[in-house]
Amino acid sequence: MFRPRVIPVLLLKDRALVKSIKFKDHKYIGDPLNATRIFNEQKADELIILDIEASANGRTIPLDLVEDVGEEARMPFAVGGGIRSLDDIEAIIKAGAEKVVINSQAGVSPEFVRSASETFGSTSIVVCMDVESKFLQGGRVRVANGSATCYKPESYAQLMEENGAGELIVQCIERDGTMNGYDVKLIRSVSKAVGIPVVALGGAGSLNDLIEAYRVGHASALAAGSLFVYQSKRRGVLINYPEKADLRF
C-alpha cells in the first residue's frame, strides 16, 4: 500500500542544528550528526539538510559535513545551501548526497535547473520554493534569503518542472516553525499545477497535519522541522520520528 514519504528537515547555522520561526529567531537544537544517528535508529524515510547561511556567505554547505552525514545516514538524504554551479552539485553528490536542493539560484536563473537536470538527472534535482502568502494578489515566491519575485507559486512550480526539476519543496514562510499546520491550500494549488512530486514543508505540528497535507493538499511527501526536533508545542528539544504503525494515511 502506498504511503507518502515523511521527511525530517535539519537546518544548519554555523554547522549547528537550529530551528527557526518564520525564517527568524533561530534556536540552537544540537549536533546534526547526532540527529542523523537518531533518525537512523528511528528509520526515517529520508532526510533533508539545509545550510541557511550558505547563500548569504557566498559558499555551499561544508563538504566535510556532507561526507560525515553520508557516513552516518542509512536513509537517502538531500542537501541544500549556496548551490550556484554544476561543480557545486557534483561535489555535493560525490560527498554522498543523493539529491541537491536548489533555492535562490533557481529563481535567479531557471536555466540552471535545466542544465543541472540534464547533467545529473532530474531525480537528483530538487527545487525549494519559499512562498509568502500575504500579497493581496496571491502568494509570491521569495529567493535570495527573502527577496520577492514576480512569480506566483503555481507558475513558478510549472517553470521549474519545465526546466527539469524532479521534485519541489513548497514552504510557506508564514507557517515556518509555528507548528500550526501546513498551508494546505497552497500545497494543493501547487500539486494540481504540476506533475512532479510536491513535498509539503512549513507548519506541521502533529501527525494530523501530515495526514491533511496528503489527503487534502495532495502532497507526495511530508517534510517538517519542528515536529521532529521538539517534544511538543512547548518546544522541549527531543529528536523524534513517528512509529511506522502511526503513519496511516
Rounded to 5 degrees, φ, ψ at 95 are: -75, -10
Catalytic residue among 51, 88, 130, 209: 130
Report the chain's C-alpha Rg in angstroms: 16
Q: Is 130 a catalytic residue?
A: yes
Nearest to 160 by CA among 172, 143, 135, 182: 143
- Cα 136 to Cα 152, 183, 184, 217, 236: the distances in Å are 12, 16, 18, 22, 36
- Distance separating alpha carbons of residues 105 and 127, to the nearest angstrom: 9
C-beta of residue 61 within 8 angstroms of C-beta of residue 32? no
Buried-state track 191-215, b at ≥16 Cβ within 10 A, e below 16: bebbebbbbbbbbbbebebbebbbe
Indicate the helix (H) or strand (E) that contains 51: strand 47-51
- Cα 52 to Cα 5, 56, 138, 144: the distances in Å are 23, 8, 26, 11
The SS3 call for residue 94 is helix
- Residues designated as active site: 130
